[in-house]
């Protein structure tokens, strides 16, 4: 029997999940749930208003929560976790321990499973950091994001009063990456090794100075990064700022005696939301496996046995990949 998946929220990520599900024979899309008029969504899939969810508890195995991290996920995810198993792509690293706690209480109480913080960062990068630190304990780690458009940061800017459209680019220090690759010592912290560039289309009558100040002082997302804010027209935005490319590198340099080992993971993504959705969908399969094993509660990506991510038996995986 196929695992039945619901999508909550139909933005970039929701559309990505809808697209990615077609590549998984063991998963099926039951429906898309939105706060908007479902008939207004441009989709051939079944779409429902969010209010219809409460009657669907028996029809859905896993809900993939595709709302924004700025407010949707912290305010609503735990409510879904009471009645459904969930997967989310929450990306507020600093709030993750609180999010885990909220989701664990809700999911445990409802005998559900909630896999939190999936995607590529947090998500795939987090796993690579764990592996590289475990394998090379004597060393140092570096993470670089971009150049690319960050959906989470763009979403956070779009939620500000006076902002009509926004695109936020994360720019890594290419000089520093080169220095690390050349084996030179660098003074790395994630703030000084990146800067942020924001393009904003203002609502009519909005005050640019107030919007700029709200962006550059936004804790966790922008403060203390060096941030440039540019105000542009809607036509320029539509012409130059609608691509969703992203990626980055996780690098660990480790030492055993005089020998140096470099463990590097690179993601080069044509579509940030479609790759993020790809991770969330594989994690939806894992959530069902946890449910079948009655291992309820919140799980991080570290808690997922790698075998839970693929629709394949242990025997076949050992034969094919070990």
Site of interaction with ligand NDP (CB under 6 A):
9-14, 34-36, 66-69, 89, 91, 119-123, 151-152, 155, 272-273, 276
Q: Is 104 annotated as a binding residue?
A: no
Is 66 assigned to a binding site? yes
Least distance in Å: CB of 217 to ligand NDP? 20
Measure the CA–CA gap between 221 and 188, rounded to whole angstroms. 19
| Distance, CA of 103 to CA of 116 (rounded, Å) | 8
Contacts 24+ apart (CB under 8 A), 237-240: 237/165, 237/167, 237/199, 237/201, 240/199
CB of 255 to ligand NDP, least distance (A): 30
What is the closest distance, in whole angstroms, from the C-beta atom of residue 91 to ligand NDP in the complex? 4
CB 109 within 8 A of CB 87: no
* Shortest spacing between CB 65 and ligand NDP, in angstroms: 8
Is 276 annotated in some ligand binding site? no
Residue 260 annotated as part of some ligand binding site: no
Residue 36 CB, nearest distance to ligand NDP (Å)?
A: 5
Q: Do the Cβ atoms of 173 and 196 come closer than 8 Å?
A: no
Angle at 115 between CA 113 and CA 119, to 5 degrees: 160
Query: For residue 274, what are the CA distances in angstroms to 46, 55, 252?
Result: 20, 29, 27
| Residue 12 assigned to a binding site | yes
Residue 252 marked as a ligand binder: no
Nearer to ligand NDP, 136 or 244 (CB): 244
Closest to 104 measured CA to CA, from 288, 272, 298, 294: 298
Q: Determine whether the annotation assigns residue 10 to a binding site.
A: yes
- Reported as type and span, the H/E element at residue 197 is strand 194-202
Residue 242, marked binder: no
Q: For ligand NDP, which is the closer residue by CB, 117 or 139?
A: 117
User: Residue 67 annotated as binding?
Assistant: yes
DSSP secondary structure letters along 67-129: S-TTTHHHHHHHHHHHHSEEEE----GGGHHHHHHHHHHHHHHTT-EEE-S-SBTTBHHHHHH
3 state SS for 175-193: HHHHHHHCCCCCCCCCCCC
Which CB, 69 or 227, lies closer to ligand NDP? 69
Q: Is 29 left (phi over 0), alpha (psi -120 to 50) or beta?
A: beta
Minimum Å gap between C-beta 227 and ligand NDP is: 18
Smaller CB distance to ligand NDP: residue 74 or 179?
A: 74
Burial 84-115 (b: 16+ CB within 10 A, else e): bbbbbbbbbeebbeebbebbbebbeebebbbb
User: CB of 126: closest distance to ligand NDP in angstroms?
Assistant: 9
As annotated, the binding site for substrate includes 145, 170, 196, 246, 272
Annotated binding site for NADP(+): 10-13, 34-36, 66-69, 118-122
Query: Binding site, residues?
Result: 10-13, 34-36, 66-69, 118-122, 145, 170, 196, 246, 272
């Amino acid at each position: 029997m196929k695992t039945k998946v619901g999508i909550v929220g139909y933005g970039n990520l929701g559309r990505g999940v809808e697209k990615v599900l077609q590549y998984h024979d063991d998963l099926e899309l039951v429906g898309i749930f939105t706060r908007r008029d479902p008939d207004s969504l441009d989709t051939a899939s079944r779409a429902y208003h969010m209010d219809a969810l409460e009657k669907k508890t028996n029809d859905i195995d896993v809900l993939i929560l595709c709302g924004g991290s700025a407010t949707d996920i912290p305010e609503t995810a735990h409510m879904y976790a009471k009645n459904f198993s969930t997967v989310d792509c929450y990306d507020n690293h600093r709030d993750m321990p609180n999010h885990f706690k909220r989701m664990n209480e809700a999911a445990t109480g409802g005998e559900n499973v909630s896999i939190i913080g999936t995607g590529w960062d947090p998500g795939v990068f987090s796993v690579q950091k764990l592996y590289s630190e475990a394998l090379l304990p004597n060393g140092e780690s570096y993470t670089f994001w971009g150049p690319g458009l960050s959906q989470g940061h763009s979403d956070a800017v779009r939620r500000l009063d006076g902002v009509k459209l926004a695109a936020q680019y994360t720019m890594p220090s290419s000089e520093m990456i080169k220095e690390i690759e050349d084996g030179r010592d660098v003074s790395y912290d994630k703030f000084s090794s990146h800067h942020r560039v924001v393009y904003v289309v203002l609502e009519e009558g909005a005050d640019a100075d107030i919007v700029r100040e709200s962006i550059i002082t936004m804790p966790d997302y922008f403060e203390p990064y060096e941030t440039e804010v540019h105000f542009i027209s809607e036509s320029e935005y539509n012409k130059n700022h609608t691509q969703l490319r992203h990626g980055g590198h996780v690098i660990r340099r480790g030492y055993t005696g005089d020998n140096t080992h470099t463990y590097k993971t690179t993601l080069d993504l044509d579509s940030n939301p479609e790759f993020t959705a790809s991770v969330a969908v594989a994690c939806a399969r894992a959530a069902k496996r946890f449910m079948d094993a009655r291992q309820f509660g919140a799980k991080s990506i570290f808690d997922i046995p790698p075998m839970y991510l693929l629709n394949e038996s242990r025997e076949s995986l050992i034969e094919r990949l070990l």
